[in-house]
A and B are shown apart, each in its own frame.
Chain A
Amino acid sequence: DGGITQSPKYLFRKEGQNVTLSCEQNLNHDAMYWYRQDPGQGLRLIYYSQIVNDFQKGDIAEGYSVSREKKESFPLTVTSAQKNPTAFYLCASSPYPNSGNTIYFGEGSWLTVV
């Protein structure tokens, strides 16, 4: 089935550690996105990529890093510089980064700092 797969679903991080969240899509979409969602709140854009080997910072990029070496993959690394990383992380993709495109979401990854 076509879709967006995020892994792991649940992840625990010790203070000072970097962790990487995986996002894979087999929809042949050009654009991919990472959002952060805190409990009871809306979505905030961390990073987005319109095409392979290119990505742009979103509203809350500090403490995060991404790569886009393949069209299908857009991993997000939460670095130790992110002081409050506990949140629900959502990966999304859209066919091409133009106006009027619906974006499709994965099932999300819960990250907890212990």
Chain B
Amino acid sequence: GENVGLHLPTLSVQEGDNSIINCAYSNSASDYFIWYKQESGKGPQFIIDIRSNMDKRQGQRVTVLLNKTVKHLSLQIAATQPGDSAVYFCAENRGRNYQLIWGAGTKLIIKP
């Protein structure tokens, strides 16, 4: 798997600032993308998703941007709070195999 043996990159952000977490995907045929949040010792929770016919989608305090030209996905979290501390995973669906392909994850640390 793509994420085997990798240790998580870390992003440190000041409380109240905006966070931007990035993810690159490799397959231009992927048509569905999801961001998950995983708190320590828990299962991942769905945050937001986007389909390949969209460039941007907004949720509550979160925005996902999709750039198909460079195969890049980002998650923006506005006014970061201590409760946002977690590992964030992107996942892509390549359609045919009915499975999600997971990114390596990014650990978000909030500085007080």
A17 interface contact, C-beta 8 A: no
> What is the minimal beta-carbon distance from B88 to any residue of chain A, in angstroms?
11
From A31, A44, A97, A110, contact of B3 by CB (8 A):
A44
A43, B4: Cβ atoms closer than 8 Å: no
A-facing residues in B54-101 (Cβ within 8 Å): 89, 93-96, 98-100
B46, A40: Cβ atoms closer than 8 Å: no
Q: Is the interface of B mostly helix, strand, loop or mixed?
A: loop
Number of interface residues of A (CB under 8 A): 30
B-facing residues in A17-45 (Cβ within 8 Å): 31, 33, 40-45
Interface string of A1-31 (1 = CB under 8 A from B): 0001000000000000000000000000001
> What is the minimal beta-carbon distance from B109 to any residue of chain A, in angstroms?
14
B102, A41: Cβ atoms closer than 8 Å: no
Give every chain B residue within 8 A of A107 (Cβ-Cβ). Answer: 42-43
Chain B: interface size category: 20 to 34
A98, B5: Cβ atoms closer than 8 Å: no
- Assuming the contacts A31-B98, A99-B95, A105-B45, asked whether A41 and B3 have C-beta atoms less than 8 A apart, the reply is yes
Q: Bound complex: CA of A95 vs CA of B31, how far in Å?
A: 18
Nearest chain B residue, comparing its CB with the CB of A103:
B100
A108 interface contact, C-beta 8 A: yes
A104, B46: Cβ atoms closer than 8 Å: yes
B6, A41: Cβ atoms closer than 8 Å: yes
Nearest chain B residue, comparing its CB with the CB of A107:
B43
- Assuming the contacts A42-B102, A100-B31, asked whether A59 and B1 have C-beta atoms less than 8 A apart, the reply is yes
> What is the minimal beta-carbon distance from A101 to any residue of chain B, in angstroms?
8
From B44, B95, B103, contact of A90 by CB (8 A):
B44
> What is the minimal beta-carbon distance from A100 to any residue of chain B, in angstroms?
4
Using CB atoms and an 8 Å cutoff, list the residues of chain A in contact with chain B: 4, 31, 33, 40-45, 48, 50, 58-60, 88, 90, 92, 97-108, 110
A-B contact list, 9 entries, CB within 8 Å? A4-B43, A42-B1, A42-B4, A42-B6, A42-B89, A50-B98, A99-B95, A102-B46, A105-B45
